[in-house]
Chain A
Amino acid sequence: MSAVPGLKEDCEELLGAFQQADTVRFERFAELWRERRFHTVFYGRIRALERNKLTKTTLELAQQYFLPPYSFQIRVGALYLLYGLYNAQLCQPKQKIRIALKDWPEIQKFQQDLLDSQHYDAAYVFRRLRLARAFHFTAMPKLLTYRTKKKIEENYFKEEFKDPSNRVNSLITNDVLEELMNIHGHYQKMKCVISADKSQPDKALSLIKDDFVVNLKDITLEHQEWQQNRRKLFRNAKETDETENKKKEGTLLESEGSERANALARIKYKSYSAVVEASKSRRHRQVQLESSETGSSCGKSPSKKTSRRPQPERRRGEMQVAKETVTRHIGMPIITEENSDE
């Protein structure tokens, strides 16, 4: 499909503004939409045939932002954008949004995420689109056309919209950590069984660092947090010179991040007992635990206007645990050197 000139820029500008606003509320999106009077994008004397083609191309362009690898906020923005464009189009009967078979499970998962995180307005918008029969369920995402292209356009993803590629997190997932904890537990028990003192493993058998699982998780969290800060800084430095404090106040983690953080908080809670035991034999090593967010700890009311994930509950849970130091990392995190022994 031939591209509509200027449309990609306009959409990206709107989605960028939405991302800046750091929220997923529909009212905010609607304000941005009305500011730009986006519904006029279909205006101009266009005859019926071309209008059909134009609308189809527009919806196809907007639909691309609705799928991974874009970040959660951009995807919600794309959902709102699709809703707006679908309703603002001038074609009769309305042109539909194409959804490929392979994308449908992801979209269902997305909808489930929306419901779980209580973003009912986004879920409602999605439901409205379905009720209005706005979707064509197709085998392939793009309708094929057969014209020899003068040049092949590269489809590039706007870097800032993309989720930060979290290789570390995808390697060290919840499951991996739980497995490690289990195996570690078994190992300790095994050592206890074969050593003379049944409650504690023999000193001679201490060949590994006992709390390496906890450390691993901490390092992972640290990395994630560093990455987000870096992204935020990058964005700030590029655009306006707002004070950084304002930006840092609400860290908007992606939904996967928050789920993972929840689960990791659980593991952390469980593993604190292990830490306490080990510290007796490892007094010379500092165990440094960091919290998983940088934001100031002022209480935030989870109002509907500014959407935050259910962070306050989690934070309170973590506050209860003793031995917690809150550190801020702006530059590269410094990994504390540990004396290797045994």
Chain B
Amino acid sequence: STDMLMSSEKEEDSDVIPEDSSLLTLRIRKKDLERREETIIVDRACRQETLTYEMESHATGKRPDNLTDLIEDGELLLTLNIFYPVIFQKHKDHKPYQTVLVLGSQKLTELRDSISCVSDLQIGGEFSSQPDQAPEHISKDLYKSAFFYFEGIFYNDKRYPECRDLSRTIIEWSESHDRGYENLQSVKMEDYVFNDLSLKIGFPYLYCHQGNCEHIVIITDIRLIHHDDCLDRNLYPLLIKKHWLCTRKCFVCKMYTARWVTNRDSLAPVDPCFFCDVCYRMLHYDAEGNKLGEFLAYPYVDPGIFN
């Protein structure tokens, strides 16, 4: 039987819409293009678009160097949307999320490690008197507990001795009275892979860490792995979409991302006020390192730090 009778015979420029097209799609698109030409001065991809496209497609077709890392046929690929915990007014209608691809045979702990949340990097404590001693350990190291909640089961991270069972509170609460939730269980996260779970697509699940930082997790797609996908196991969980958050800049230089935030600062015009490291030290400390004025200062990690 016949083959590719579809393609055009002569050389055609796929950018040019033919004049006398009988397709409604093309007529509409042509009008759109003309309108764009009139109104937009420079019509090219902005940074955001390039970033989104790159992230979507950077890993397609990749093969591992080491053949043991090659993904087998029949492997499942899940697409998860993990929502950011930040709540801004402008995000009312569309809450920002990042999209992660994960393999069916990967453990839940691998996913947990790959989720980057700004609250993991927070440093607690007031450091106006000793700015140089802002400690190295971030919250991620201090509070290692986390859990996932899928279909009535809490998967707690128990790899380290400091990890606590955060879900215990919830289970006790639900068992104390008849609240209509049957059978909540608590198991270890590191014992399970995604293939073991029973999941609903589109149903919101929970990822909680740091005790009170909660992310909604939604599974949008499950499919078989395909020849054109990235077949390097080491690259998974793979981040393919990230929401771009504008970072807060230093109040003084308006150039660098803020690293310090001050409250009740006599030297600052607003409360709270954000400073980058250099400006902060220049304003609040003299040449010997003595504190000038009264203020409370906290190290600040901007949510946009992962851009």
> A interface vs B, CB < 8 Å?
4-7, 9-10, 26-27, 30, 33-45, 47-49, 52, 84, 87-88, 90, 93-94, 96, 98, 120-121, 124-125, 133, 136-140, 143-148
Contact = CB atoms under 8 A, between A and B. Distances in A.
Contacts of A93: 60-61, 228
Contacts of B93: 147-148
Contact of B222 (A121, A139, A145): A139
A108 to B, nearest CB: 16
A98 B81 CA distance: 20
Contacts of B53: 48-49, 52
- 10 closest Cβ contacts across the A-B interface? A6-B24, A121-B1, A6-B25, A138-B223, A139-B222, A49-B53, A144-B220, A30-B5, A6-B28, A137-B224
Contacts of B227: 133
B81 A44 contact: no
Interface string B1-36: 110111110001011111001111111111001000
Interface hub of A6, A40, A138 (most chain B Cβ within 10 A): A40
A44 B30 contact: yes
Contacts of A47: 45, 49
Contacts of B228: 93-94, 96, 133
B49 A49 contact: yes
Contacts of B224: 136-138
Given A43-B15, A93-B228, A84 B6 contact: yes
Given A140-B201, A144-B201, A121 B2 contact: yes
Contacts of B2: 26-27, 30, 121
24 contacts: A4-B25, A6-B26, A10-B24, A37-B8, A40-B18, A40-B21, A40-B26, A41-B26, A43-B26, A45-B33, A52-B57, A87-B4, A88-B7, A96-B228, A120-B1, A124-B1, A125-B1, A133-B227, A138-B221, A139-B221, A140-B201, A144-B218, A145-B220, A148-B94
Given A40-B17, A133-B227, 8 more contacts: A10-B23, A30-B6, A33-B6, A38-B6, A40-B21, A40-B26, A143-B220, A145-B220
Contacts of A138: 221-224
B76 to A, nearest CB: 9
Q: For chain B, what secondary structure do more than half of its interface residues adopt (helix, strand, loop), or is it mixed?
A: loop
Contacts of A4: 25
A43 B223 contact: no
Contacts of B30: 44
Nearest to A84: B6
* Category for how many chain B residues contact A: 35 or more
A40 B226 contact: no
A42 B6 contact: no
B221 A44 contact: no
Contacts of B23: 6, 10, 36-38, 40-41
A146 B94 contact: yes
Contacts of B52: 49
B124 interface: no
A44 B8 contact: no
A43 B16 contact: yes
A38 B29 CA distance: 14
B102 to A, nearest CB: 14
Contacts of A88: 6-7
Contact of A144 (B29, B61, B221): B221
B56 interface: yes
Given A40-B21, A96-B226, A143 B1 contact: no
A121 B221 CA distance: 33
A93 B56 CA distance: 12
Interface hub of B6, B61, B227 (most chain A Cβ within 10 A): B6
A37 B221 contact: no
B20 to A, nearest CB: 9
Interface in B186-226: 201-202, 218, 220-224, 226
B91 to A, nearest CB: 12
Nearest to A83: B6
A219 to B, nearest CB: 41
Contact of B218 (A44, A48, A146): A146
B18 A43 contact: yes
Contacts of A33: 5-6
Contacts of A145: 220
B71 to A, nearest CB: 15
Contacts of B220: 143-145
Contacts of A26: 1-2
A49 to B, nearest CB: 4
A45 B226 contact: no
Nearest to B4: A87
A39 B1 contact: no
